[in-house]
Every structure is written in C-alpha cells, then in structure tokens.
C-alpha cells in the first residue's frame, strides 16, 4: 500500500495537469472567440495535415492506434507487476499529450455554431406529415436511381468505381452552398480502408475520422449500398464538421446534385432509411413504415435483404457494446447520440422545404 501511495504521490503533478486540462477546455468551450480560434487553426492546418499522410496507401492512423494500444497494455502490466513510478508517469504524460492534441486538432470543433441556425433563425416544428411526404418522395427517387446502377450476379447493387466516387465527393464539396459551408475544400483525397475492417464488421461502425493523421477510414466489407454515403460522411469530417449529424447532412448535400449514380443511390437510400427510422419511433406510424418497405422495387428489396443478412451475420455483444459507447461519446460532445436521428432529420426537412426539389 505504501508503494502504491508513493507511486501516485510522485506523479500527482501530471495528474493535476490532466485535470487542469479538462477544466481549461471546458471553460474555453463556453467562449465563442476560443471556439473560433480552434476552427481557424483547423482550417490553417487542414490541407497540409491531410496531404502529409495521404501518400501512404495504408492507414497510418490505425498503425498509430495499434502502437498506442500495445504501449498501454505493456505499461499497465508493468505498473501492476513492478509497482514502478516510471510506468505510471509514462501513462500520465501520454494522456496529457494525447488529450491536448485531440482537443486542439478536433475536440473543440464540436462546439462550432450549429448548421441549423444557418437554415433558420426560428424554431421549426416538424411533424409526421412532413416526414411522410419526404419518405414517399425519396422512395420514388430510390426506385428511379436503382434502375440506373450496376449490380452483381446476385442482383445486388455494386459500385462501378470507388475512386470515382471519392473524386466526385471532393468535387461536390466545392459546390456546397456558401451560406451553409464557409470552409475551404480539402484538395487531397485521404480516405482509406481500415486496418481493423474484420473487427469493424462486428461493431456496427461504418467508418471513422482520425484527428491525429486527418485520415478517414471506412469498412470496405460493408454492403455496397452503405459505402458511398459513408465515404461522403467521413470526408465531411475532413472538411471540418465534427458533429456526426452535421457530417451526414454535408454528405447529403454533396450527393444532392451529383451525376455519380452510385453516390446518388447510396445517399437517397440513407435518407429514406433515416426517415423510416424516425417515423418508426411513433407506433402509430408502423403501418405506414411497413407499407413503404413493401413498395420497395424488387431490386431495392435485393439490396435490403443483402444489408439485413450482413448485419444479422455480424450481430453480437461487440456491436451492442460499441453502440452504447458510441452513444455516450456523442452525447459527451454536445451531440444527440446514435439512438436518435432528429437533428439530421430537422436539417434535411428544413433544407428540403427551403430549396428546390431533389
């Protein structure tokens, strides 16, 4: 006990600094000037940061995460076995550097002004009628676009050229409405398959952004219907949108006027599923939701069956665990959590009502 006590006393300075950092960034998050500073910092280093790691074909960020995990495992084992102060000191110093870098590069971006305030200064109430009208609209979009895309020998949607999808997303980012997006477009593509793709199959995670290397990772094993929109979503993070629902909205805007039918279909299908999911939270809408699904075209039904088979095959404790932890992370960063799509739906409905039809 004395040894344990001495170890913590010797390293109390690093523990105090870490707690002080928590307090500092919490206070800074309350000041608009500080938030603007970190937003400007992100814009200043964005293209250089992306370009720095884009030349590597593999995910450098995933490699760094692997090294970090190994470092922690070795340090924790050493701490419990040897009871040496050095192991705890290394852990605390690393946590301080990690947390400071994360907040400067990414964490403070969660406190940027909400996009929804750019769409309307007034609070807009959205009802089920609005959602149902959009649902019918997007069902027809999906049916129409599905007839234009390619499919595999099983009659399931397949992507013609994934590199073209990435290039198109980058191009469409240049044409985002100025009143919504004041950010500079990233000039280099740095979206890579995750080194953890086999593991990701069982987590429910489709992709993620690494703030330390500015790389966007995605799971290439996903059903093809999910991949183009996932790419657009992760590339929206690279643009500087930290909130998940806002990144999805920017991804939706990138696909809205695209001529790339793979990106178009994947995004339209994401919107349709999001609307159905939002409506299904009210049991009174159950029959409407089931009716819409029954009206999927035969080709859309093939895609839906393929998605359901994939997620059923990889369902389990791991996906439940990551669903809960991701939900907690989102809520801790001023987001609604993965269990609700209301913010994205609000953005979608407000924009659709404000703009011309799709």
CB 159 within 8 A of CB 224: yes
pLDDT of residue 341: 41
Of 57, 81, 111, the residue that ends a domain is 111
pLDDT of residue 305: 94
* 167 shares a domain with 287: yes
CB 249 within 8 A of CB 349: no
Of 79, 111, 143, the residue that ends a domain is 111
For the stretch 278-312, pLDDT in tens is 999 888 899 999 999 999 999 999 999 999 999 88
* 40 shares a domain with 142: no
Count of beta carbons in the 10 Å neighbourhood of residue 73: 10
* 92 shares a domain with 164: no
* 319 shares a domain with 303: yes
pLDDT of residue 54: 92
CB 351 within 8 A of CB 119: yes
Q: Which helix (H) or strand (E) holds 155?
A: none
CB 207 within 8 A of CB 230: yes
* 348 shares a domain with 205: yes
Both tokens of 125, joined, read 């109430």
Report the number of distinct structural domains present in the chain: 2
What is the three-class DSSP state of 112?
coil
pLDDT of residue 336: 52
pLDDT of residue 113: 92
* 276 shares a domain with 164: yes
pLDDT of residue 301: 95
For the stretch 222-277, pLDDT in tens is 999 999 999 999 999 999 999 999 999 999 999 998 999 999 999 999 999 999 99
pLDDT of residue 342: 76
* 331 shares a domain with 309: yes
* 233 shares a domain with 158: yes
Give every residue of the chain whose pLDDT is below 50, as ranges.
1-2, 317-326, 328-330, 332-335, 337-341, 356-358
* 239 shares a domain with 160: yes
CB 52 within 8 A of CB 188: no
Domain with 33, as residue range(s), is 2-111
* 161 shares a domain with 264: yes
In terms of Cα–Cα distance, which of 77, 101, 131 is closest to 273? 131
Of 84, 111, 138, the residue that ends a domain is 111
Q: Which helix (H) or strand (E) holds 223?
A: none
* 254 shares a domain with 169: yes
Beta bridge partners of 191: 216
* 205 shares a domain with 126: yes
């Amino acid at each position: 006990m004395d040894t344990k006590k001495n170890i913590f006393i010797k390293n109390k300075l690093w523990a105090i600094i870490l707690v002080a950092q928590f307090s500092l960034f919490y206070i800074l998050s309350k000041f608009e000037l500080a938030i603007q500073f970190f937003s400007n910092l992100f814009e200043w280093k964005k293209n250089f940061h992306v370009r720095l790691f884009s030349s590597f074909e593999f995910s450098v960020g995933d490699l760094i995460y692997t090294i970090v995990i190994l470092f922690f495992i070795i340090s924790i084992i050493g701490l419990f076995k040897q009871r040496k102060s050095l192991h705890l000191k290394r852990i605390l110093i690393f946590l301080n550097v990690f947390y400071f870098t994360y907040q400067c590069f990414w964490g403070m971006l969660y406190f940027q002004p909400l996009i929804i305030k750019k769409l309307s200064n007034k609070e807009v109430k959205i009802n089920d009628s609005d959602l149902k009208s959009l649902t019918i609209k997007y069902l027809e979009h999906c049916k129409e676009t599905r007839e234009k895309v390619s499919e595999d020998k099983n009659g399931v949607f397949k992507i013609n050229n994934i590199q073209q999808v990435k290039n198109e997303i980058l191009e469409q980012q240049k044409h985002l409405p100025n009143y919504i997006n004041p950010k500079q477009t990233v000039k280099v593509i740095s979206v890579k398959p995750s080194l953890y793709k086999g593991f990701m199959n069982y987590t429910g995670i489709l992709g993620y952004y690494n703030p330390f290397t500015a790389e966007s990772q995605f799971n290439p094993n996903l059903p093809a219907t999910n991949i183009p929109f996932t790419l657009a979503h992760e590339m929206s993070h690279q643009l500087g949108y930290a909130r998940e629902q806002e990144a999805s909205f920017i991804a939706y805007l990138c696909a809205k006027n695209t001529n790339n039918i793979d990106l178009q279909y994947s995004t339209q299908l994401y919107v349709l599923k999001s609307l159905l999911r939002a409506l299904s939270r009210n049991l009174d809408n159950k029959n409407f939701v089931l009716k819409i699904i029954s009206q999927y075209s035969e080709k859309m039904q093939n895609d839906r069956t393929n998605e359901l088979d994939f997620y059923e095959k990889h369902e389990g404790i791991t996906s439940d665990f990551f669903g809960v932890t991701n939900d907690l992370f989102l809520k801790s960063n001023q987001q609604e959590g993965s269990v609700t799509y209301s913010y994205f739906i609000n953005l979608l409905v407000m924009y659709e009502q404000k703009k011309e039809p799709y």
